[in-house]
Amino acid sequence: MKHIQVVFLSALIIFCFEAVRSQPVKRHGNLSVQGTRMVDQNGSTVVLKGVSFGWHNWWPRFYNKETVHWLYKDWNCSIVRAAMGVEPEKGYLDSPGWSEKKIEAVIEGAVKEDIYVIIDWHSHGLHLKGALAFFEEMAGKYGHYPHIIYEIYNEPVRQSWQEVKSYSVEVIKKIRESDPDNIILVGSPHWCQDIHLVADDPIEGFDNLMYTTHFYAATHGQYLRDRGDYALKKGIPLYVSECAGMSANGDGPIDYEAWNTWIDWMDKNDIGWICWSVADKNETCSMLKKSAGSKGEWEEADLKESGIKTRELLRTGSLK
């Protein structure tokens, strides 16, 4: 009997240890930026990998805690990205209250699962007034959680870096009124391609900032990695908050060779990444078929090629 008790106690200790270790926030705690790296509460490098929900205004059915649970438990996501559409119909500018509720469902699901979550202002244009109101609300409500990362401008398109920089400073100041330390992701011009411009003129006076670069492997090649290398050499911390394996229009075949080259580059530089997207649109980058339920529990038959491969990548650490 004593032997059985010892074995049971040992198994219980191992189970509890694995349970805590598998919960990213319990394991890493508050995140910060040191040099070009994201680090945890112990100063160890953290590489957060996960997926982005599609635009909330077009695929709201997936914005719930059950989907977050499935992405954590089955896909092994350590982070998810809640992409709040800003300009389109039923986006934030059109329906702010409803939009916030959809985003909050994902945030609260992530807190419950103890994973990290990016609150993404998913916009292609400057909307400073709306952004200030939204991030004041989010930082005031959730800024005390270590789970939170803010992405304050998804993909600037036509604005110069000076315009984006000026906007970003104002939003950062607003967030920091309520949340002094959670990481803030800053976009760069031309669909987050012009990271070399940021490297020559970064934002100063704030801690825990990272800059985003986005790639779609069949379109964006070595030139963009060269820009990333240039930024890293100048001490600019990078996070890939949106990426996938096909062309930049989200469609066409997946280029596995190009995608693997990007994965190798991110691994080499300890850069975390988010794949696009949890949606059922008729395009290659949408990971789900129409048959996929709104609350996870997806079978492989519910996943499109990009979903199958992204899940494999998150679960095994390699793209086969």
Catalytic residue (one of 100, 113, 151, 155): 155
CA distances from 13 to 17, 19, 80, 309 (A): 6, 10, 29, 34
For 163-226, give the DSSP string: HHHHHHHHHHHHHHHH-SSS-EEE--HHHHT-HHHHHHS---S-SSEEEEEEEETTT--HHHHH
Instruction: Let me know if 242 is a catalytic residue.
Output: yes
Bridge partners, 37 (sequence order): 34
Alpha helices for 51-160 (secondary structure H): 65-73, 96-113, 128-142
HEC sequence for 227-293: HHHHHHHCCCCEEEEEEECCCCCCCCCCCHHHHHHHHHHHHHCCCCEEEEEECCCCCCCCCECCCCC
Q: Which two tokens stand for residue 118?
A: 């990016």
Catalytic residue (one of 108, 242, 257, 312): 242
- Active-site residues, by number, are 155, 242
